[in-house]
Structure 1
Amino acid sequence: MKKTILLSAVLMFLLSCGNNEKIKNETDFQNQDLFSQTKTGLKKPFKKLVFKKLEDISDSEELNLELLSKVASNLKIKYSTIRIRETSSINYDDKTTFFVLTTVEKNKKILKSEEEGEVGNYFQRKYLFVNREDGSVIAEEFDNNLGYYDNEAIRFSKSHILKDLVYLNETTPAVAFYTEASASSRIVLYSEQKFTLLTLDNNEIKKVLYEYPIFLTNGDSNGSGTFQIETLETGMSFGDQKTNGYYDLIVTKNFSYEEAVESDPENGIEEHSNLKTKKEAEKLKYNGKEYAFHRDDRHRFLE
């Protein structure tokens, strides 16, 4: 009898221990699952689409003028030389802000001018990462490709920063912006939007994609109703594969060609128009330094 009671007590004890261990394991699993959900909730989701169409792009509206004034002081330049309407910014993280700064130098001597001593207003573009508190400069770099005189045939627009940062992988943010170059002519139909991605790497500016053409028009016109024009419009997203730590970039290209001729009764020409389209795609891989690409200026329709 005592042996039976003792055996029952041991069995109850073992069952109790098993239940406690089971409860402990279930609790640990639930806690781990909750922890995983919390981490997932805190982690910024990776967004593959950069933009589908150019018309869908939203620009950053951030521009802290008080911070910009501090930046000018730290750069030792006059605040009045900054072209506010051609300057844009975005908060890079909780401590850092990025600026594309446009300044103007008035009456600067024009280099390679046919007339000696000729001067003009020179517009210059600079990239800046600054401290959000005091405006101290963390990294800076001029972009000489975007510098121009106000009397040149080709001019550059404000550099438009995309509203949201672009993530090259799950943890690496990049600033995305585009700048338009255009000809001030009714006869020569040319405009181009160039797209750039850059990051802050060890307090240095790193251009991982530089001046990729995302919009391009080429053609000519008689200034009235007759013209022929070829247009390239792109979309951009990240693929599923990584190369050297960054996701591959997938670029979709939409080419279109439009020709319009106005009527000329004297020469027997009737009014007519023609439209052609073509689609292509390109994959850009990160080579450890940048997303390398070969600029393709081939016309698909124009001769």
Structure 2
Amino acid sequence: MKKTALLNGILVLLLSCGKSDKIKDETQIQNQELLSQTEIDADLNKKEIKKLIFKNTDEIEDSTELDLPLLSKVATNLKIKYSAIKISETSSINYDDKTAFFVLTIVEHNKKAIKNDEEELGNYFQRKYLFVNRENGSVIAEEFDDNLGYYDNEAIRFSKSHILKDLVFLNGKTPAVAFYTEASASSRIVLYSEQKFTLVTLANKEIKKVLYEYPIRLTNGDSNGSGTFQIETLETGMSFSDEKTNGYFDLMITKNFSYEEAVEDDLENGVEEKSDLKTKREFEKLKFNGKEYAFNRDDRHRFLE
């Protein structure tokens, strides 16, 4: 009888232990499934980092976020007249939930300049970068860009600074505003225009130009004003590499050069009509040196002599 009771006790104990181990195993499995699901959810919630900035300049999409009520508050905080801002040459984008970025063009009507031949150059247009509070328009950081200041009668003019529709990310967490400005000659004979590309961030309440005035489109040439011309054009594409240097993705740039020459008929001088097109492709990688994406400006012509 005692042996039977002892055997029953051992059997109950073994069954109990087996059940306990089973519960423990099921709990571990449930915990692992929950952890796996959490990791999946975290991956789904991660913001996908877009590596392509633009395929070519014709496909760049501009920001349309210009907030005029906020701009009015900014003008008050800057202590300038709202009418002094050239709205058609001003653009903005939201940098984060609390901050916006503006590129202002401010007109100084009383600032005149005289060239050597005593021709009056007219009003002066200044370009200013601003990070501001989205709620009250208070200025967080500001900076004039002297390279983009111009008089309205100068030979070289600057366009509105076009901000790209989307922010770009220099790594997994650092946003940057991307914009470009075109410089061009007001001449039918001299064929010159250049689009200069800039990346800026906000760090410690300061504007950081991590890439400044990189030429993304450039045309050079000349024309007789009719149908005869020769022109060389540089078109670029820009994207981020998977590789990083000093914490920021390397910039990969595709450079497409083209040369076009066209001559119209000139029967009196025995010149026949002709057209010629040549192309060439090159690549460049820019690495962040801890301060900026440094580059050496290359003004060499690939086809023009």
| TM-score normalised by L of structure 2 | 0.96
1:210-289 matched pairs, under 5 angstroms? 210-289=212-291
- Residue 60 of structure 1 pairs with residue 63 of structure 2: yes
Partner of residue 160, structure 1: 162
Identity score, percent: 71
Partner of residue 79, structure 1: 82
User: Per-residue deviation at 1:23?
Assistant: 1.9
User: Per-residue deviation at 1:170?
Assistant: 0.7
8 Å CA contact 2:121, 2:154 repeated in 1: no
- Residue 203 of structure 1 pairs with residue 205 of structure 2: yes
Where 1:145 maps in the other structure, the secondary structure is: strand
Larger radius of gyration: 2
What do you get for the CA RMSD once the two structures are aligned? 1.3
Count of residues in correspondence between the two structures: 302
**Unpaired stretches in structure 1, ≥5 consecutive residues:** none
Q: Rate the CA distance shift 1:247–1:261 in 2: closer, same or farther, 3 A.
A: same
Where 1:294 maps in the other structure, the secondary structure is: coil
Partner of residue 294, structure 2: 292
1:81-160 matched pairs, under 5 angstroms? 81-110=84-113, 113-114=115-116, 118=120, 120-160=122-162
Q: For 2:119 and 2:304, how far apart are their aligned partners in 1?
A: 41
Q: For 1:155 and 1:190, how far apart are their aligned partners in 2?
A: 11
User: Per-residue deviation at 1:177?
Assistant: 0.4
User: Per-residue deviation at 1:118?
Assistant: 4.3
1:111-166 per-residue CA deviation (whole Å, 9 max, x = no partner) reads: 7x326794620000000000000000000000000000001000000000000000
Using the TM superposition, name which of 25-34 and 253-262 deviates more: 25-34
- Residue 26 of structure 1 pairs with residue 11 of structure 2: no
User: Per-residue deviation at 1:56?
Assistant: 1.2
Using the TM superposition, name which of 138-147 and 8-17 deviates more: 8-17
User: Per-residue deviation at 1:34?
Assistant: 2.4
Using the TM superposition, name which of 225-234 and 99-108 deviates more: 99-108
Q: For 2:119 and 2:275, how far apart are their aligned partners in 1?
A: 48
Partner of residue 44, structure 1: 47
User: Per-residue deviation at 1:109?
Assistant: 2.7
Q: For 1:128 and 1:241, how far apart are their aligned partners in 2?
A: 31
Which residue of the other structure, out of 3, 9, 17, is the alignment partner of 2:6? 3
| TM-score normalised by L of structure 1 | 0.97
**Unpaired stretches in structure 2, ≥5 consecutive residues:** none
Q: For 1:267 and 1:45, how far apart are their aligned partners in 2?
A: 62
